[in-house]
Amino acid sequence: MKTQVAIIGAGPSGLLLGQLLYQNGIDNVILERKSGEYVLSRIRAGVLEHTTVQGLEKAGAAERMHREGLVHEGVELVFNHQHIRVDFEKEIGKHVVVYGQTEVTRDLMDARAATGGITVYEAQDVALHDIDGNQPYVTYTHNGETHRLDCDFIAGCDGFHGVSRQSIPADVLKTYERVYPFGWLGLLSDTPPVSEELIYAKHPNGFALCSQRSTTRSRYYLQVPLSDTVEDWSDERFWAELKNRLPPAYAARLITGPSLEKSIAPLRSFVSEPMRYHALFLAGDAAHIVPPTGAKGLNLAAGDVQCLADAFADYYGNGSSAGIDGYSERCMKRVWAAERFSWYMTKLLHTFPDGDEFEEKMQQAEFNQLKLTEHAAKLLAENYVGLPY
Ligand code: RFL
Ligand code: PHB
């Protein structure tokens, strides 16, 4: 098989890139290790920035999101039961859309099926070849047979544990990493959200987040020690601890129900530079990870692939290499801004097991600043709603 761009991974990065390339008349094939159902079963992000919404529009996959997504004009932060609402519309005249990553993925899969794009699910042993030569290609096995996909370029959209980043010689990449000493336990339930807006709450026992997928489906998270497993957390224990960490008025009106899904995710900041090595371009979690506290991971991925699609369109449409040559540098500015914001939100709102009273006072002072000066609230709003890509 031959194509212009071979895309590794059918998460949001790979699927969005595939559709953006299709809209620009650029042929592409996606190779995904898992089945389509498995990809859809991963419960992850919920908050879309304006530029992510624009990306889905350009990809022709925004119709259902516009119909069913919930516009959020602000967010609530709670620090040891003191509240502050950051009003995005008032501060910067913008909003975010709450619409689950699962639904984004489903819409992109449907758009791809409608345009006849090829996605090979359950492609095993994907290997990248000759990425620093003139004839890059990818091999994989499918249904027991080995296949070869020749291409001009490879887009590594295969997440943090994928094969693409690992195919770049180690001495070419510079990596930066911070692993946080806790994880997030997430619970999905068919219960109405406790509040219309998201609530990020800091409590001495740890962080809690009240998020949602619709007016009837909630997504809640609790900070837990890394040694905990899902089996340690019955639904009853989860709801009791969530109530404990929320201000009493919210705890009193929290509606609980059986969990549809529960999982624990570790928290990490990670960047590898550069995002290009000859014919290989990394995008999304393959190149960088943020802790979920700033709701930035999916949005960064969507920004990367919009840059990459623009760059390929310029290359194939105008014969210009400027976009592909500037890809990494262009993405990195936004990546580091999102890394900073996600790290800041994580430090502000979590209880650090090795933290002391001084750090606790610093967190309180930081929170007070958000309450006292509108500049601080504006800065948070700007970063949360999203910096331009
Ligand atoms: P993905 O989604 O990991 O997809 C990569 C795909 O590549 C496949 N793959 C391979 N395919 C072929 N061959 C190989 N060797 C392969 N290795 C891997 C995988 O099967 C997979 O299908 O990466 P992508 O596309 O870059 O998308 C990134 C986002 O998924 C991620 O950044 C977000 O989910 C992060 N995130 C959030 N982001 C936000 O913007 N807002 C949020 O509110 C938000 N909340 C979250 C989150 C992530 C979370 N977890 C579980 C880490 C909340 C949580 C709990
Ligand atoms: C989610 O709804 O899954 C979600 C929302 C906001 C975050 C992280 C996760 O910061």
Smallest CA separation from ligand 2 atom 2, residue: 46
Find the 283 Cα to ligand 2 centroid distance in Å.
Answer: 21
List C-alpha distances in Å: 28 to 130, 322, 377: 18, 21, 43
Residue 258 is among the residues annotated as catalytic for this protein? no
| DSSP string across 189-241 | ESS--SSSS-EEEEETTEEEEEEESSSS-EEEEEEE-TT--GGG--HHHHHHH
Q: Which atom of ligand 2 is nearest to the CA of 186?
A: 3
Residue 347 is among the residues annotated as catalytic for this protein? no
Smallest CA separation from ligand 1 atom 32, residue: 297
Virtual CA dihedral for 149, 152, 157, 158, nearest 10 degrees? 30
DSSP lists the bridge partners of residue 269 as 178
Residue 296 is among the residues annotated as catalytic for this protein? yes
pLDDT of residue 44: 87
Smallest CA separation from ligand 1 atom 49, residue: 44
Catalytic residue among 296, 315, 327, 389: 296
pLDDT of residue 267: 97
Q: Which atom of ligand 1 is nearest to the CA of 34?
A: 20
**pLDDT one digit per residue (tens) for the chain, 389 residues:** 999 999 999 999 999 999 999 999 999 999 999 999 999 998 888 899 999 999 999 999 999 999 999 999 999 999 988 999 999 999 999 999 999 999 999 999 999 999 999 999 999 999 999 999 989 999 999 999 999 999 999 999 999 999 999 999 999 999 999 999 999 999 999 999 999 999 999 999 999 999 999 999 999 999 999 999 999 999 999 999 999 999 999 999 999 999 999 999 999 999 999 999 999 999 999 999 999 999 999 999 999 999 999 999 999 999 999 999 999 999 999 999 999 999 999 999 999 998 899 999 999 999 999 989 999 999 999 999 998 76
Give the list of residues 6+ apart from residue 239 with CB closer than 8 angstroms, or none.
Answer: 254, 256
Domains of the chain (ranges; CATH) run: 5-70+96-176+268-346 (3.50.50.60), 180-267+351-385 (3.30.9.10)
pTM exceeding 0.75? yes
Residue 142 in contact with ligand 1 by CB distance below 6 A: no
Ligand nearest to the CA of 8: 1
| DSSP string across 251-303 | HHH-----EEEEEEEEEEEEEEE-SEETTEEE-GGGTEE--GGGS-HHHHHHH
Catalytic residue among 72, 95, 288, 350: 72
Give the list of residues 6+ apart from residue 229 with CB closer than 8 angstroms, or none.
Answer: 264
Residue 384 is among the residues annotated as catalytic for this protein? yes
Residue 303 in contact with ligand 1 by CB distance below 6 A: no
Find the 158 Cα to ligand 1 centroid distance in Å.
Answer: 8
CA distance 165 to 100: 27
Find the 268 Cα to ligand 2 centroid distance in Å.
Answer: 15
Find the 202 Cα to ligand 1 centroid distance in Å.
Answer: 26
Catalytic residue among 137, 200, 220, 316: 200
pLDDT of residue 389: 67
